[in-house]
Amino acid sequence: MKNEKKISTPVLRRLPKYYRHLEELSRNGIEKISSKDLSKLINVTASQIRQDLNCFGGFGQQGYGYHVQTLRDNLAEILGVTKRYTAIIVGVGHLGQALANHTTLPRSGVDLIALFDVSPDVVGTEVAGLTVKNISEVNRFCLENHVDVAVLTLPKSEALPVATVLANAGVKGFWNFTNTELSFSGMNVSVENVYMGDSLMKLCYDVQDS
């Protein structure tokens, strides 16, 4: 749908960061910013910022810099944050509940429309304004409703079987907190893994001999 030039992952991973900072600048009423000033602010070289942004076209103006609001809006557009997505959370433990109540989902344009769990202790309770459904209903739910994204916050062992069901029922993206390598051969499904434990281990490594 967009510019057919393939964007590299490193570039893509930096876009949200740019967007975050531009949002803040915009909120603070800053009108323009040069790649040099932005560079200082976010710890990325000016050269890289310009290089990255130019993957998507010339958003700046020579001799002036970048118009903050315009650039922010363009990034929002590119990232697809302006679109609406629907999501379900599968596994309503502590983490699932936290994400249900967090601002992260809505801030990316993602509407939470249902939560699922196995445990009778949780099913039927209300979380983030929604009644938690039984996992047994998840397949039908996804077939009957358009679900873009599934947030996987369930036990490791259940991750792959459940995700397979969901992918077959039309779910296009998985936000995966289960520390499992998911793979859907040739199914045009996106997976974004969040390995919180890995991040903590890296921190422990850094801390241990300091």
Partner DNA sequence: TAGATTGTTAATCGATTAACAATC
* Interhelix angle 46-53/9-27, nearest 10 degrees: 100
- The piece of 15-23, 62-70, 183-191, 193-201 that touches DNA (CB under 7 A) is 62-70
One of 4, 5, 28, 58 touching DNA (CB under 7 A):
58
One of 20, 32, 36, 67 touching a second copy (CB under 8 A):
20
Phi and psi of 45, rounded to 5°?
-65, 150
* CA-wise closest residue to 24 among 58, 62, 75: 75
Per-residue tokens: 45: 């070289």
Per-residue tokens: 129: 């304004």
Phi and psi of 20, rounded to 5°?
-55, -45
Q: Distance between CA atoms of 19 and 101, rounded to whole angstroms? A: 23
Residue 192 touching a second copy (CB under 8 A):
yes
Site for a second copy in 25-54 (CB under 8 A): 41-43
Residue 5 touching DNA (CB under 7 A):
no
Least separation in angstroms between CB 83 and a second copy: 6
Give the binding site for a second copy (CB under 8 A). 1-2, 12-13, 15-17, 19-20, 41-43, 78-81, 83, 85, 93-95, 97-98, 101-102, 104-105, 107-110, 148-149, 172-175, 179, 181, 188-190, 192, 194-210
